[in-house]
Amino acid sequence: MKLSIGIVGLPNVGKSTLFKILTKQEVNIANYPFATIDPNVGVVAVPDERLEKLTKLSNSKKTIPAVVEFYDIAGLVKGANKGEGLGNQFLSHIREVNAIVEVVRVFENEEIIHVEQKIDPIRDLEIINTELILKDLETVEKRLSKLDGEARTGDKQKIKDLEILKKIKEGLERNALAMNSGEEITGQPIVKELNLLTSKRQIYLLNGRETDVSDILKEKIKYLNADYLVIDLANARDIDELIKKAYEILGLISFFTTGEDETRAWTIKKNLKAPQAAGEIHSDFEKKFIRAEVINWQKLLEASSWNSAKQKSWLRLEGKEYEVQDGDVMVVRHG
């Protein structure tokens, strides 16, 4: 699966600096709002030492890591949902991502302008979330007006959809993120179809030092059911921890295929069964799946080769009900 993450935040909080560190790309970093007008998109390899070790074991010609697409999006300001700043352009760009990284400035530096004139991380994250909520309310209300008429025909599914969206609307009106409405609501097709901005998992990247972060801010993020990382972007060299955190909050794992031609990492959801995991390699593999030969990557390294693992009877034959585990190395047998 493709993993994509939107980098959002107020102007001048470190979004473009983060993007540059992640992708090693040159982007326009300037000390004024809206330095990034079009979203910069960068494809970043997922750091994984297992991949290199398997490549060496198989003497593979190519190594293909799992990747994350990062979208660095123009700064958000109050009124973005109504088109202020680069409002609607900004909000449309993050509708398709899997998760959101909200960069929040916690450091003090009089030389770097703050769009709100004063450093206040809780106010800043509330501005961002309010704009996302207001945009989602607009989306939900448009769909509700249409659903209302459809439900009057007596269609049971439309009636159910109407009630579900009313619950989402009630939550948004209470200033609650849609992702906190519960899986029984957010997992419904009508909600997934709308691709709501506040239904996406969030990571707060607190730009500064641990000493800049107050306990009140930490409690606020915990209340929002989100995760956070504290990183001083001015001195950071890599952001591997951010990618690992994204995998964690989205419930993602990696399995591997390895051989002379290539060693490759594949990103899948936890608890995915073998045929669906095989479908990530090729859609035909899911349809025509028979079984998979499976071994944990460490066990394969211990065996020193696939043939040796087979001779030691360390390879397992797994069928259609097998749930692929993080670190599995697989060979798919199909019709």
The boundaries of the domain holding residue 293 are 271-334
Residue 47 included in any domain: yes
187 and 129 inside one domain? yes
CATH of the domain at 284: 3.10.20.30
- The three-class DSSP label of residue 325 is coil
- The pLDDT value recorded for residue 86 is 54
- Residues 287 and 204 both lie in one domain: no
Ranking 58-72, 93-107, 110-124, 146-160 by mean pLDDT, the lowest is: 110-124
Query: For residue 37, what pLDDT band results from cuts at 50, 70 and 90?
Result: very low
Q: Please check the confidence at residue 244 and state whether its pLDDT lies above 50.
A: yes
pLDDT of residue 77: 61
Mean pLDDT of 82-96: 63
- Confidence (pLDDT) at 35: 44
Verify that 60 and 168 share a domain, yes or no: yes
Question: Are 219 and 279 found together in one domain?
Answer: no
The mean pLDDT of 216-222, rounded to a whole number, is: 96
Across the range 45-68, mean pLDDT stands at 94
How many domains does the chain contain in total? 2
Dist. CA 42–CA 13, nearest whole Å: 19
Predicted confidence (pLDDT) per residue in 279-316, tens digit: 999 999 999 999 999 999 999 999 999 999 999 999 99
Q: Is the pLDDT of residue 277 over 70?
A: yes
| Among the ranges given (24-33, 155-164, 278-287), the one the predictor scored with the smallest mean pLDDT | 24-33
The residue with tokens 């107050």 is 214
pLDDT of residue 264: 96
pLDDT on residue 44: 87
Q: What is the mean pLDDT of residues 154-162?
A: 91
What would the mean pLDDT of 85-104 be, rounded to a whole number? 76
CA distance 279 to 34: 41
Give the Cα separation of 33 and 35 in Å (integer).
6
Sheet holding 62-64, edge to edge: 62-64, 262-269, 252-258, 328-334, 289-296, 316-318
List the CATH number of the domain containing 12.
Answer: 3.40.50.300
Kindly state whether residues 41 and 175 are assigned to the same domain.
yes
Rounded average pLDDT over 104-109: 87
**In the prediction, which pLDDT does 36 show?**
46
Instruction: Give the whole-angstrom CA distance, residue 90 versus residue 73.
Output: 6
Residue 278 shares a structural domain with residue 244: no
Indicate whether 102 and 152 sit together in one domain.
yes
Kindly give the pairing relationship between strand 67-72 and strand 99-105.
unpaired
Burial of 96: CB neighbours in 10 Å, binned 0-12, 13-18, 19+: exposed
Return the closest-CA partner of residue 44 out of 224, 206, 247, 199. Answer: 247
At which of 250, 279, 312 does a domain end? 250
CA 268/CA 281 separation, integer angstroms: 11
Residues 32 and 136 in one domain: yes
Q: Are residues 198 and 322 in the same domain?
A: no
- Same structural domain, 234 and 294: no
Q: Is residue 256 part of a domain?
A: no
Residues 8 and 144 in one domain: yes
Distance CA 255, CA 242 (A): 20
For residue 264, tell me if it sits in a domain: no
Mean pLDDT computed over 219-228: 95
pTM as predicted = 0.84
Please tell me the predicted confidence (pLDDT) of residue 112: 62
